[in-house]
Structure 1
Amino acid sequence: MPDIDQANNAITNTGHTHMGACVPEGETVSSGDLTVNVRVVLHDNPGRADYVAMVFKTSDRETTVQKCYLRATAPNFSCPGPAGSDTGDFTCNGTCERWLTFSRPISAFNHSGLQEVRFRGFIEEPDGNSMRTNFNWQLNIQNGKSPSDVTRDAFLRGKGWYTHAGYCEASLRSAPLPDGPVSGIWSPVVGLTSHGDGSRPATHSFIAIDPDFHAVPANPGLVLWDAAGPFGPEPSGAAPYSIDTRGLANGVHKLHLRTSCRDDKLGSTNSGVTVIPFMVAN
């Protein structure tokens, strides 16, 4: 989406895509299938959503284990096949959602130990560019195979990818997430940076509690950080951010992390966002 000083038109503004799931982040899975329901939302996005891929990433292999296609008429909580040659046909005017159900045996991981799951969503925009939403997380797999932990960027992160702009990433490095309530001063380690490898640099970083940008007017929530540049040293650094939970009501809140990476060639700005629910009990 364009920054405030970039022209706002059908070429520079292609809206955005949400992808979310309830996942066993940091937990141990020792039998059966890994089954995850994934929610995909298009918001003011003129593109055609194709599919979401579930990828198993180990220390020496990255394997797409399942593709679920985004179909206009398919029932929710299914894994539809393509509408054509490796494409979906889900389009939206305004805000629309679809639920997909992924399920693969844990034997599909070629190692045991700390392993990574990646969800990648693919949306083709009218001008021929591509938007991808990416969500990466880890869990402990015990499937009887040789142990070998994944070590590269082994933390929870959301990444936006766009043609030419590359990746822009918002990550929570304090892994695993707290399983229970937090209280007092909670200091999660946050990385709001570019992904490196030729991607555009981070030009803005933003941290807030409980924003609602779809409200009219938009509600930015409790803004904790809003500044030019990355939060944490580029290209892959991070730093703790202290949150005084005593100023929050007891109950569930959402930590919103956003990194923006301006691309002057496209006349627009690519962003990666990660939103993490957490419980406060003081």
Structure 2
Amino acid sequence: MRRFLALVIAVTLACTLVPALGSGSARAAAGPCIGAPPADGTAYAETRQFIDTQAWWMPDVDQANNSTTNTGHVHMGACIPERETLNSGNITVNVRVILHDNPGTANYVAMVFKNSESETTVQKCYLRATAPDFSCPGPGKSGEGDFVCTGTCERWLTFSRPISAFKHSGLQEVRFRGFVPEPDGNTMQTNLNFQVNIQNGKSVSDTERNAFLRSKGWYTHALYCESSLRSVPLPDGPVSGIWAPEVGLTTHPGGSRPASHSFISIDPDFHAIPSNPGTVLWDSAGPYGAEPFGAAPIAIDTRTLANGVHKLHLRTSCRDNKLGSTNSGVTVIPFTVAN
């Protein structure tokens, strides 16, 4: 209750301390990828943000911890042109895949174009043990990928398709889906959905359903667990004062397990020893926002943060009592502070 009251007060103050970063905000014409790892030094024609989406399959504190209830994490991150206008050439995206304590054999990542009528897989890049980074390998002799890892390992894939491959102009959705079959026959999947403004000369058909940045963890039987940023577009420029983006940490309709826990923090490092939860803004049972697809603002007092790039971590956990573990969907969003 104390956190809820503090949130209400802080959001009220936000109206007077900093203007909302919404669809009317100024957009930078070009710039670097905010929060990009050093490996991706691409000079993009528009401002991009490195969004990291993660799927976790790990037991809750009262669930047994063994080789089937704990298959670690898979990360899938990319510098995305969220809500940017693309009117020529290709949409090219470098995708980083990280396995962390995951015993599975990573298969492939698919790039999907979705509009108001249909969705189409336009490219698949397979995760191969011996392939060079920043390529788009085909499948191995088995017809699948063969990337395995002990501890923490990463691979980079490069996707590139002409904007003429979109069936329409207007607000179109791009989805990336990464697949990791696990040793017990189940599959872990991570998903990243975002929108771009395509001007390719075709008829306009805007994507309207769930048109916001969202990440989904997926696991066999548990299905989807989702975390999302509802405030669009992402801030291309610095934020100051109290920034109060609207977020949703919920389940996904259609048979998925309900959200059992929600967690929001700034700059955590869960791979550190000991683990560092960062500056925790919310840590509570149940969703953040009403199920399904509800949302609420989260107040971030940027005056307590050093100037520079920080990371907003959103995690939704969905407990699966049948399989004895918990599916989590994570979104990590970089933002720049300048007070």
TM-score class normalised by the smaller sequence: over 0.9
Partner of 1:121: 178
Residue 242 (structure 1) shift: 1.2
1:97 to 154, 162, 165: 154
Q: For the residues of structure 1 that align with 2:217 and 2:144, how far apart are their CA atoms? A: 20
Q: What is the number of residues matched between the two proteins?
A: 282
1:59–1:86 distance in 2 versus 1, CA, 3 Å? farther
Partner of 1:59: 116
> Relative contact order (alpha carbons < 8 A, sep ≥ 6): 1 or 2 greater?
2
Partner of 1:133: 190
Residue 85 (structure 1) shift: 4.6
TM alignment of 1:48-87, pairs within 5 A = 48-87=105-144
Q: For the residues of structure 1 that align with 2:71 and 2:176, how far apart are their CA atoms? A: 21
Q: For the residues of structure 2 that align with 1:242 and 1:106, how far apart are their CA atoms? A: 37
1:26 to 79, 83, 89: 83
For structure 2, the residue ranges without an aligned partner over 5 or more in a row are 1-57
Q: Is it true that 1:221 corresponds to 2:290 in the alignment?
A: no
Amino acid aligned to 1:157: R
Can you list the C-alpha shifts for 1:122-156, whole angstroms capped at 9, x where unaligned? 00000000000001111100000000100111000
Secondary structure of the structure 2 residue equivalent to 1:246: helix
Partner of 2:25: none
Q: For the residues of structure 2 that align with 1:152 and 1:207, how far apart are their CA atoms? A: 25
1:174 to 231, 254, 275: 231
1:208 to 265, 283, 291: 265
- Percent identity of paired positions between Structure 1 and Structure 2: 79
Residue 12 (structure 1) shift: 0.5
Can you list the C-alpha shifts for 1:200-222, whole angstroms capped at 9, x where unaligned? 00000000000000000000000
Q: For the residues of structure 1 that align with 2:234 and 2:311, how far apart are their CA atoms? A: 13
Residue 86 (structure 1) shift: 3.6
Partner of 2:101: 44
Can you list the C-alpha shifts for 1:154-209, whole angstroms capped at 9, x where unaligned? 00011000000000000000011011000001010000000111000000000000
Q: Is it true that 1:235 corresponds to 2:319 in the alignment?
A: no
Partner of 2:37: none
Partner of 2:55: none
TM alignment of 1:250-261, pairs within 5 A = 250-261=307-318
Can you list the C-alpha shifts for 1:48-92, whole angstroms capped at 9, x where unaligned? 000000000111110000000000000000000001354100000
TM alignment of 1:238-249, pairs within 5 A = 238-249=295-306
Name the TM-score, length of structure 1 as normaliser: 0.99
Q: For the residues of structure 2 that align with 1:28 and 1:156, how far apart are their CA atoms? A: 16
What's the C-alpha RMSD, in Å, of the aligned pairs? 0.6
Partner of 2:36: none
Please say which of residues 234-243 and 91-100 is displaced more in the overlay: 234-243
Q: For the residues of structure 1 that align with 2:252 and 2:312, how far apart are their CA atoms? A: 21
Partner of 1:272: 329
Q: For the residues of structure 2 that align with 1:75 and 1:259, how far apart are their CA atoms? A: 33
Secondary structure of the structure 1 residue equivalent to 2:197: strand
Q: For the residues of structure 2 that align with 1:204 and 1:86, how far apart are their CA atoms? A: 38
Runs of 4+ in 1 over 2 A off after TM superposition: none
Secondary structure of the structure 2 residue equivalent to 1:253: strand
Name the structure where strand makes up a greater proportion of residues: 1
